[in-house]
């Protein structure tokens, strides 16, 4: 039995990048899975006021978490888009405290070393989470006396442009459908995604006839089809119909120095 902590910058990060795998952990394997969302998503709309986006995003993330079988969705509430203005040690200690509290031994987050990550919130989240995994067993890090020290054995890092040896997770069938269902619960973010697509097309001089003013259901269908197409491409790497990919990493020195295996990945490693 493993306990999983997913650390993300924004509501919908997890569903986009790892929703099917999280569902498999929580529902198929019965692992307790927690999600920590560091920012408040206030910049997640081109139309709504920040306060409305914040409140709606919390409700949407909570509902998405129920679909994926999460034990808890926790919101920290740093201003969206401004995580780089927070000292990284503050962010790191927040993550360390939650790792210790829930006794997570498997952590999932943005890859701290992946190339081409354009969002500053993702980059800060990635490195702070990496450091938290490395130092949650050190008494000089985190909030002293708040929770007992803990050790993270393994991590699964996701990225827009993944690198290195990949852990390919089969999410064909129900996990894919639950990933899409959970993602579409993030109504504000789906609106933003589609508005950004239309704006990009307009500025680039690309004609997208019929997409202006389409219904919510039509928009969601387009997004769902996009997710299906992307996961199909990932799945081809391991002969799966649909898949998600991660860079897998172990922590600690027992295996390195003494050859004592502490943990094994739940899914097969695929060398690209």
In angstroms, rounded to a whole number, what is the distance separating the alpha carbons of residues 252 and 180? 35
Asked whether the beta carbons of 187 and 63 are under 8 A apart, the reply is no
In angstroms, rounded to a whole number, what is the distance separating the alpha carbons of residues 193 and 124? 22
In angstroms, rounded to a whole number, what is the distance separating the alpha carbons of residues 19 and 11? 12
Asked whether the beta carbons of 157 and 249 are under 8 A apart, the reply is yes
Q: Which pLDDT belongs to residue 49? A: 83
Q: Which pLDDT belongs to residue 271? A: 60
CA angle 190, 240, 163 (to 5 degrees): 70
Q: Where are the domains of the chain?
A: 4-270
In angstroms, rounded to a whole number, what is the distance separating the alpha carbons of residues 186 and 146? 33
In angstroms, rounded to a whole number, what is the distance separating the alpha carbons of residues 188 and 113? 29
| Tens digit of each residue's pLDDT, the chain (272 residues) | 899 999 999 999 999 999 999 999 999 999 999 999 999 988 877 777 878 889 999 999 999 999 999 999 999 999 999 999 999 999 999 999 999 999 999 999 999 999 999 999 999 999 999 999 999 999 999 999 999 999 999 999 999 998 877 899 999 999 999 999 999 999 998 888 888 888 888 899 888 777 777 888 888 999 999 999 999 999 999 999 999 999 999 998 777 777 677 788 888 777 65
Q: Which pLDDT belongs to residue 149? A: 97
Q: Which fold has domain 4-270?
A: Rossmann fold (3.40.50)
Which strands make up the sheet holding 106-110, listed edge to edge? 72-78, 33-39, 4-8, 106-110, 154-158, 243-250, 166-170, 269-270
Q: Which pLDDT belongs to residue 198? A: 81
pTM of the model as a whole: 0.93
Q: Which pLDDT belongs to residue 272? A: 56
Going by C-alpha positions, the residue among 39, 63, 64 that lies closest to residue 53 is 39
Asked whether the beta carbons of 10 and 44 are under 8 A apart, the reply is yes
Q: Which pLDDT belongs to residue 107? A: 98
Q: Which pLDDT belongs to residue 57? A: 94
Q: Which residues of 152-181 are buried (b: 16+ CB within 10 A; e: fewer)?
A: bbbbbbbbeebeeebbbbbbeeebbbbbbb
């Amino acid at each position: 039995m493993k306990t999983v902590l997913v650390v993300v910058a924004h509501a919908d990060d997890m569903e986009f990048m790892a929703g099917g795998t999280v569902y498999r952990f929580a529902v198929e394997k019965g692992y307790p899975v927690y999600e920590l969302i560091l920012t408040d998503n206030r910049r997640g709309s081109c139309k709504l006021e920040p306060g409305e986006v914040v409140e709606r995003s919390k409700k949407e993330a909570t509902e998405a978490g129920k679909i994926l079988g999460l034990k808890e969705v926790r919101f920290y509430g740093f201003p969206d888009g401004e995580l780089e203005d927070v000292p990284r040690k503050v962010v790191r200690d927040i993550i360390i405290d939650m790792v210790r509290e829930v006794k997570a031994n498997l952590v999932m987050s943005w890859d701290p070393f992946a190339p081409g990550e354009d969002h500053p919130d993702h980059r800060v989240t990635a490195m702070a989470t990496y450091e938290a995994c490395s130092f949650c067993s050190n008494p000089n890090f985190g909030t002293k006396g708040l929770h007992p020290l803990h050790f993270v054995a393994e991590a699964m890092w996701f990225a827009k442009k993944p690198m290195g040896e990949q852990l390919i997770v089969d999410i064909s069938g129900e996990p894919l459908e639950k990933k899409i269902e959970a993602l579409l619960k993030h109504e504000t973010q789906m609106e933003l995604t589609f508005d950004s697509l239309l704006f990009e097309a307009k500025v680039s001089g690309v004609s997208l006839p019929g997409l202006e003013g389409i219904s919510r259901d039509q928009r969601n269908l387009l997004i769902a089809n996009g997710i299906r197409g992307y996961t199909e491409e990932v799945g081809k790497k391991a002969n799966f119909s649909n898949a998600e990919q991660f860079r897998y990493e172990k922590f600690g020195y027992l295996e390195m120095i003494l050859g004592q295996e502490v943990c094994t990945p739940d899914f097969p490693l695929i060398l690209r």
